Amino acid sequence: MRKQITGGLLALSLSFLTSPVFAGTVQVCEDIKNDPDYKGLYGLCNAYWNETDPDARADILAAFEEKAGPDGPSMPGLVVASCPCWDEAHLARASVNGTPNYCQITGTNTGPEQAVYGQDDYAAAYTFIVEDGLCIRGDPIGSGSGEIAWGFSEDAEATCRAGIGELVDLDFGGSCDQYLP
């Protein structure tokens, strides 16, 4: 009788270790469990949403994206923030139609960052500025358009800063805090 009770308690305790509660399943991952588009990605989904270390999460997300492939599905539940003042099309128009004039990058995720493009006479044609919860986009003179926004999320601000960083890498030779000839 003693062996049966000990064996039963051992089996009960092991069942807790293999239960979904211990595994840390996440509902958005459960929703894809049997979806053929997500074949082989269920475990990475749960690992991503249960991980608390940002570096480890980035590694898991990279593994998920690599396994999914370039045309594969994205991580369920992951919302990619957008910049409220510009999108990729605005950045591309400035890069193609403007002349790089001035940029500033702090590299600290605080303070002002900007990229300014001129036309042949260096009159401001495209302006992108982000600073601590505020972003401004100026379009070519006479177009009557632009955008200003404030009070948005840190993720959205990081996306705005990343957009300016892309322009700096593409058009300003990767360095700033100087006027270009």
Binned at pLDDT 50, 70 and 90, residue 30 comes out as: confident
Q: What pLDDT is stored for residue 15 in this prediction?
A: 47
Classify the C-alpha dihedral 7-8-13-16 as positive or negative.
positive
Q: What pLDDT is stored for residue 123 in this prediction?
A: 60
Average pLDDT over residues 144-171: 85
Binned at pLDDT 50, 70 and 90, residue 142 comes out as: low
3-state secondary structure at position 179:
strand
Query: H or E stretch including 176?
Result: none
178: β partners = 103
Would the pTM of this model clear 0.75, i.e. be above it?
no
Domain range list for the chain: 2-68, 88-179
The answer to whether the beta carbons of residues 78 and 65 sit under 8 Å apart is no
Reported as a single tens digit per residue, the pLDDT across 72-88 is 888 887 767 788 998 88
The answer to whether the beta carbons of residues 64 and 44 sit under 8 Å apart is yes
User: Minimum mean pLDDT among 17-31, 67-81, 162-176: which range?
Assistant: 17-31
